[in-house]
Structure 1
């Protein structure tokens, strides 16, 4: 694994590299059976179901993909499509019996998840509207079962229904649909989940595809808007987006695409911060700078500007030696922290850690500037959100190791002394050392290369690396972590098989970003003075 290989990947895939989504693929099966590859997507849904009837993701994150896949297959059954989606020659995955069995297990998994002391919902974009929409559609099909010719779902022919999500106002969904139908316009962030608007989404007059042809950078939202093939320029553009996106993902659909700025800024800033040598592709830095507008920039075309992508783009440009103006971030500033976007329902510690990186680095490289008050505000806010065990958790990534690395490194480099940032960093280092697994890895559920890399960032990019009181424990943990990563990379250099841990409507894995995190951790471990000396002596 080499940094220049990563640069080649960024160039070869200019729209980004991201794994397919069960949720998004299920929406295309349901909303766009006319798209090429429909049978393949049906087979994917049937074959990717887990033994317990759920789909894809651990813990609370499995609910949305489970309902999406179940609704798609149930619609196929009740519309008479069972048995027509055979996938590959000789496959039985799309047979009526196979579909009915998958639906039965999926319904049971969703029912269990939402009844009998239901757990909190996942903090994912639009989760309330998405669940209300999916459950409404599933229950409509269940109500019609007695009059249908569908077999194999006898236990669902009575009064059994999927219960509504706890604590969610059922009036949210019709209100949103009415707003879309009225033509008064909707916030740009809503476009990413336009599929929940139902029939009112189709060719909604106030909604236009972006320059890439997408609606909200989402295949599901784009298919919901398109509603079928069309002859106009916008319709052809949307159709091209769908066909090109599916072709780039072996016929399946990712949650968000393209992710150009997100991917490039995370990779470049991560490698540069750790001092990993690489050859920057011609024009890439200028493209990043050119994407910055007066309000910031977005993860990709069709999405609203956000403080996360804006701050990481700014930080990447700073590290590359280009002049930036951090004041563009003020549009996201609130009384005590920065929001991901105006009107955000929630808050993110990693967004604020990234903002702290920008103001901290800018202040250090521009002695005449004074952003101490902003740095102190951010430092105190991050400290207040640290968990008692020393870790942080975040809404945009399921792993506390990602959030902890981002917060600990930002506080160590740019936190203010008056905020007590040092104590927070030491607590994060202690938690990281205490939670290493027996095989040298780190992970929330199981040890992964990605999470191991973030844990090593915490240990190697904070001052614990030079503090003799921590050095021995850090060296031992890093050596074990490096051995784990080296074995993973040796088995699969592209890290295929790593679980998706990043949060969107569904969980996803941005491949180039994850590989850059692992490469960075391995580089830092190999140049860490005591460890490097020890390995030279062997």
Structure 2
């Protein structure tokens, strides 16, 4: 696959490929997707209840405040909580939204306007739900998901809620009388000890780990003007609207030329008031979109500036998912893999900085380990070795080292497979994502010794298809269905009869996912891990296009 380096107004696809598939034009969808990468260079990602709630509290002066409050009210579930069905995933967004609505009532008083009674009712419902399901003396233990900084964020939010409840004694709010002076406990297993240590570190003036900047809002008053924090060229602190707002402090007095303020105004304008957790995510989005399309053999012509956006950030430690975050092996491997598929291979030596005795870490000092990071590392080394073989350079010393690194990642992946044939991972709520990442990488670059692991993954996929033909962890989704279809069609030379039948039954869900526009607006859940769950729309759409293209090429879909 080659890169057309001539200046172009848009991506083009040769006319013979322009087939209509049940009214869906895949080449046009691909063109629109690639054009969108340029039109929205900071990325296309769903807004977050958690992050939006933090701006309601930290930046009421910022454009779109009313829209953010309305967003929180609209996203509240009938049971009073926010977020995904599992209580563990609901914890962070629910505490943030509850604290934000309470802060509006306590801080703004009559400024809450005609909707004050409604706001008070919703806040009381939220407090009741939090006490019942999360932070009350009889609340059950919560199975906490591996979300970044959850052990800091949850205690910080409980502390802030309790502060507002204390203030209700002196400034009562009609509808919240029963909560005046009451206290919430922290969820089981989160006692606030680590939060106290981190706040002491930040308050001491010592330099903190860069990844901590992504959740700087947990520092409280110490975050404002933190001396060693400096805005990135985009204006962000920690690639986070909440962290940036916390660093700005009292926004009314912020210099109008402050880049942090204009970063926030830019993000708010892009999303109509609400904001996502991590933004911008240019390299992460582009690497995944291009890799998934190219891996599936989707015909595409890539603008040179998109390729440059993947190569330019590559430094001695690789590349971060977004400016303001530390470089990581996952994003670096994804970018390297995409570049190799696009015939612009870069040496993957920078990944050795993440090599451990048994596997590759996402970043040094990581708590835990990531299946999908190691799957992407395997693909990056494997695809570069393929390029070396094409140049008859596979016998060099460096090639031997790359092969050993790929084998290490493959061995570790096989050791992490669950007995049922699936994998799960810390960066996504669905095992279908982790299983597709691991099985596809092992099938392509793991060698024959790993074939049993791939076959076990195929069996698991076939047994977890829903009666309606979709796949999904909480419900059937086009996103997860695309992962299952890609696994079935990229891990075998030709689909067996049972796999072909499974793909055929999945096609209506993929087509609906492609034609329904914004998946979040269509009701599909956010499933990717950040401080809150998020949905990277362009990446998800690339997965759906890839799955449909593979289905057409396999003969299952004509």
Give your verdict on TM over 0.5.
Answer: yes
Tell me if 1:486 matches 2:486.
no
Tell me if structure 1 keeps the 8 A contact 2:479–2:513: no
- The counterpart of 1:122, out of the listed 135, 145, 169, is 145
- Shift, 1:516, TM fit: 0.5
Tell me if 1:405 matches 2:436.
yes
Summarize the Cα distance change of 1:491–1:292 in structure 2 as closer, same or farther, 3 Å threshold. Answer: closer
Aligned to 1:89: none
Tell me if structure 1 keeps the 8 A contact 2:514–2:541: no
Per mean C-alpha deviation after superposition, the further-off stretch among 189-198 and 115-124 is 115-124
- 2:429, 2:288 → 1: CA distance? 17
- Shift, 1:414, TM fit: 0.8
Aligned to 2:247: 225
What pairs up with 1:424-463 in 2 under 5 angstroms? 424-463=453-492
Normalization by structure 2: what TM-score? 0.89
Aligned to 1:303: 325
- 2:313, 2:407 → 1: CA distance? 29
Per mean C-alpha deviation after superposition, the further-off stretch among 26-35 and 177-186 is 177-186
Tell me how large the CA RMSD over aligned residues is. 1.8
- Shift, 1:36, TM fit: 1.6
- The counterpart of 1:144, out of the listed 156, 164, 167, is 167
What pairs up with 1:139-538 in 2 under 5 angstroms? 139-157=162-180, 160-229=182-251, 236-366=258-388, 367-368=394-395, 369-370=399-400, 371-417=402-448, 420-463=449-492, 465-466=493-494, 471-492=496-517, 496-497=521-522, 498-529=524-555, 531-532=556-557, 535=558
Tell me if structure 2 keeps the 8 A contact 1:129–1:196: yes
- 1:507, 1:277 → 2: CA distance? 31
- 2:68, 2:373 → 1: CA distance? 35
Tell me if structure 2 keeps the 8 A contact 1:209–1:234: no
- 2:464, 2:173 → 1: CA distance? 50
- 1:492, 1:325 → 2: CA distance? 37
2:169 counterpart SS class: helix
Aligned to 1:103: 123
Tell me if structure 2 keeps the 8 A contact 1:226–1:235: no
- The counterpart of 1:19, out of the listed 42, 46, 66, is 46
Gaps of 5+ in 2: 1-25, 389-393
- 1:112, 1:230 → 2: CA distance? 38
Aligned to 2:22: none
Normalization by structure 1: what TM-score? 0.93
- 1:352, 1:210 → 2: CA distance? 29
- 1:46, 1:486 → 2: CA distance? 32
- The counterpart of 2:82, out of the listed 46, 55, 80, is 55
Q: 1:383-440 CA distances to partner (integer Å, 9 max, x unpaired)?
A: 12111111111111111111110000001111144xx411111111001011111111
Q: 1:461-515 CA distances to partner (integer Å, 9 max, x unpaired)?
A: 102x42xxx6000100011111221234344476742221111001111111011
